[in-house]
Amino acid sequence: HQLLMKDPVNISEADYLFMESTYGDRDHKGEEDSLNEMAEAIQYSYSRNEKIIIPAFAVERTQEMLYSLYLLNRDGRLPKDIPVILDSPLAIKATEIFRKYRSYLDEETHSLLKNGEDPLDLPQLQFSSSTEQSMRINEMKGSAIIISASGMANAGRIKHHLRHNLWRSGASIVFVGFQAQGTPGRKIVEGAKKVRIFNEDIAVNAKIWTIGGFSAHAGQSQLMDWLGHFQSKKMPVFLVHGEATAQDVLASLIKQKRGFDVTIPEYLEEIKIKAGAQPEELKPPQAASQPVDLAPLLADLKAKIDYINDQMGNIQSLPESRQVEFLDLLKQANLNIDEIKIRDLAARK
């Protein structure tokens, strides 16, 4: 079940099925439980005069968060005086697209719209588009709900909000989507005591909430129910988009409960498929990996570094706080380049 968009349709026939397995080893909480936990997180930090930080993907997840906050506000469960700030230019543009193309929204949302309600709007909702607006958010006193990208906290403006709030014991960091291995979000939800943001170790003192019910990825039971509509047990099933543990659990369950033949493709494995025929497997090293052309990217990086050098006079004339922001971003870029050098040396050994 999706909060805004029409739910996926059931189909009964296919030659091959490639199915995601992100949550192949577990289920989500329901919508009501997820809303209750969101309300609890908001109240926790609101009562402590601290901020609620929600890392969210710019497209669909952010709009679902606005919809959820709308429902809480409608039911009197959202403080009337708490600002809700959407700090993501891409998410702001995506929200306007959701409002424009209403025919793609589900029946529940259409019912609200027919009654003159806008589930993507709130009296206290503010859009933060410019860099200056974003920076002012962290100068605000008091509680606020801040929704920003990226959803895994590995890029974007959310990193600034985490830097300013992660160390605050009364703040809440609310994760509403899957956190991939190696991302700052994954480290935080797994209990890291500190994370590195902009070349600085930030203590994790805020309360961490993980609300899986908002995920766009289906839970185990949803995947199994959807798969159950297929008629032919001869249809090969391939599990993709998932970590090894989740894939193994789901593969075993599908074989046991649904009787399908399940394959978990390996990295760089090639499989030749043709309607009406069994898949033909081409395993590495037969499946040749294609060299990646880095030249255009390196040329683009050089041009951008040259541009920054040309703008040094303008940068140094900015307020000190803005200069520090530029410095942090350049330090992070420098660390990323150092990481490339380290991996190159390791590969040569």
Taking the C-alpha atoms of residue 58 and residue 61, their distance in angstroms, rounded to an integer, is 7
Q: What is the mean pLDDT of residues 152-179?
A: 96
User: Which residue in 178, 145, 153, 167 sits closest to 44, CA to CA?
Assistant: 145
Tens digits of per-residue pLDDT, 246-283?
999 999 999 999 999 999 998 888 889 988 888 887 76
Task: Write down the pLDDT at residue 270.
Answer: 87
The H-or-E segment that residue 208 falls in is strand 207-210
Q: What is the mean pLDDT of residues 317-346?
A: 80
Task: Write down the pLDDT at residue 349.
Answer: 59
Task: Write down the pLDDT at residue 1.
Answer: 64
On whether the CB atoms of residues 85 and 128 are closer than 8 A, the answer is yes
What does pLDDT average to over the chain? 91
In this prediction, residue 333 has a pLDDT band, given cuts at 50, 70 and 90, of confident
Q: What is the mean pLDDT of residues 278-300?
A: 74
pTM comes to 0.78
Q: What percent of the chain has pLDDT over 90?
A: 67
Task: Write down the pLDDT at residue 8.
Answer: 83
Tens digits of per-residue pLDDT, 12-43?
999 999 999 999 999 988 889 999 999 999 99
Tens digits of per-residue pLDDT, 36-71?
999 999 999 999 999 999 999 999 999 999 999 999
* Inter-axis angle of helices 220-227 and 244-257, nearest 10: 40
Task: Write down the pLDDT at residue 326.
Answer: 84
End-to-end CA distance of the chain: 50
Tens digits of per-residue pLDDT, 189-235?
999 999 999 989 999 999 999 998 888 889 999 999 999 999 998 99
Within 8 A by CB and 6+ apart from 263, the residues are: 236, 237, 238, 239, 271, 279
Taking the C-alpha atoms of residue 49 and residue 28, their distance in angstroms, rounded to an integer, is 30
Task: Write down the pLDDT at residue 335.
Answer: 79
